[in-house]
Amino acid sequence: GLEALPMAQRRTFRVEKAQAGWSLERCLTAELNEQPAQAAARVRTGAVYVGGRRCQEPDRPLREGEVVSVVLEAAGKAPGPSF
């Protein structure tokens, strides 16, 4: 589980009015400044939560005020060897 990854970083943001109706993929692409394919892959692998619940649908439309959490891989983010 997540507790086994103490170095894992989490990014949490609230959907703003301007983003309401955007797909989860589009919102992540903007928030994380990455390619749509990367964002969609994050969602499909179960690393994204909407309102505290895992969401694996990249095309899910978001509503204003929803809280999105993304678990970012620890590999490459922290100093030291990655196993």
Give the angle 53-58-62 at the CA atoms, nearest 5°: 65
Q: Are the CB atoms for 62 and 21 separated by under 8 Å?
A: yes
The torsion of the CA quartet 61, 64, 67, 70, rounded to 10 degrees, works out to 50
Token output for 76 = 């490459």
* pLDDT tens, residue by residue, 25-73: 999 999 999 999 999 999 999 999 999 999 999 999 999 999 999 998 7
The torsion of the CA quartet 17, 22, 26, 32, rounded to 10 degrees, works out to 20
- What ranges in 1-73 are assigned the alpha helix state H? 24-32, 36-44
pLDDT of 73: 73
pLDDT at position 8 over 50: yes
Lowest-pLDDT range, 4-8, 9-13, 34-38, 71-75? 4-8
